Amino acid sequence: MAVLVTGAAGFIGMHLCQRLMARGEAVIGIDNLNDYYSVQLKKDRLATLENDLFSFEKVDFSDHLALEKALSDKDFDRIVHLGAQAGVRYSLTHPRAYIEANVMGHLNLMEVARDRQTAHMVYASSSSVYGGNESFPFRVEDRVDQPVSLYAATKKSDELMSETYAHLYRLPMTGLRFFTVYGPWGRPDMAMWIFTKAILAGKPIPVFNHGKMQRDFTYVDDIVSGVVAVLDSPPADDGEIKAGGSTKPHALYNIGNNRSEELSHMIDVLEDAIGKKAERDLQPMQPGDVPATAADISAIQNELGFEPSTPIDIGIPKFVDWYRGYHGNRSG
């Protein structure tokens, strides 16, 4: 039976589809190919997935009628729901896009799971749910009810709705709080891409909070290893307390590199990989952003054996090599 992957043309989605097919899994991918960032990049990702094990439907999952029609003749027993409207800063100017994709879209996928009685629905949450949390590193047991962006609020809403469906319909659900994912085929709105593009072009890079930022940069291959481990381990409906505190078949895990890096150090490593110094334009903190993130991954380590293995001094050069290759015949 196949796995349904939403956001299949996205950064993590593409890598996950490749990993699933590499172990012989059939994958049904869906994506609406919106223009939040380069549609061509999304199409190029999809081109890497051409395989007898892969089928694709272009559909907007926030439209439940279109979603149901697109999936009506498809057979699958698990769902990995990675599709979403991403980005903290974009939510300041386009709030409705987040409610439609991240709240209505999540509800629609849960209804698909309920109707199909899927064996497991894994979904993407975000480290952004921790907001202004002052405990460090962030633990899945921490309270997360003070979001500082609408994006974070929608991801917290997804977790709450999932808890409800796990309670009402006993659907096995697992939410994954991703921490600053980077790597080949990454997103153009992420710092790694923005900085690389600017440094190569000899332009200044915007360094927010005057560089006093920390992020748990996580290489995409490590993230995918965590997603697959979670997919293979649906939470049991046994009344026991799961990671995140639920007694329903609903778990929450942090997935990060387990090492928070100073933004200035990340830029140093990026400069070395590119072979060129950056012109750093120091700016104040942006609305909706947080100064530091760090993942306590003890739950997923202890329960599923997840161990990230790619430090930034290995992962960043891999991204830069891919970026240069990808943009060899393109403008960046």
Instruction: Identify the band that residue 331 occupies on the pLDDT scale cut at 50, 70 and 90.
Output: very low
- CA 135 – CA 125 distance, rounded (Å): 19
% residues pLDDT > 70 (the chain): 96
Average pLDDT score over the chain: 92
Query: Is pTM, for the whole model, over 0.85?
Result: yes
pLDDT value, residue 303: 95
- Average confidence (pLDDT) over 123-141: 82
pLDDT digits (tens, 9 = 90+) for 154-176: 999 999 999 999 999 999 999 99
- Average confidence (pLDDT) over 242-258: 94
**Residue 302 belongs to domain spanning:** 2-329
pLDDT digits (tens, 9 = 90+) for 233-243: 999 999 999 99
pLDDT value, residue 288: 58
- Tell me, yes or no, if 219 is annotated catalytic: no
pLDDT for residue 293 is more than 90: no
pLDDT digits (tens, 9 = 90+) for 79-123: 999 999 988 778 889 999 999 999 999 999 999 999 999 999 999
Supply the CATH number for residue 242's domain.
3.40.50.720
pLDDT digits (tens, 9 = 90+) for 58-71: 999 999 999 999 99
Q: Which of 74, 72, 33 is nearest to 55 (CA)?
A: 74
Comparing 14-28, 31-45, 316-330, the range with the smallest average pLDDT is 316-330
pLDDT value, residue 201: 93
pLDDT for residue 259 is more than 80: no
Phi and psi at residue 285, to the nearest 5°: -60, 140
pLDDT value, residue 332: 45
37, 98, 151, 253: the active-site residue: 151
Instruction: Identify the band that residue 140 occupies on the pLDDT scale cut at 50, 70 and 90.
Output: confident
Six-digit token string for 262: 């100073």
Six-digit token string for 199: 């440094």
- CA 106 – CA 98 distance, rounded (Å): 11
Q: Which residues pair with 6 in a beta bridge?
A: 30, 81
What total of structural domains would you count in the chain? 1
Instruction: Identify the band that residue 290 occupies on the pLDDT scale cut at 50, 70 and 90.
Output: low
pLDDT for residue 329 is more than 60: no
- CA 36 – CA 152 distance, rounded (Å): 18
- Average confidence (pLDDT) over 216-222: 93
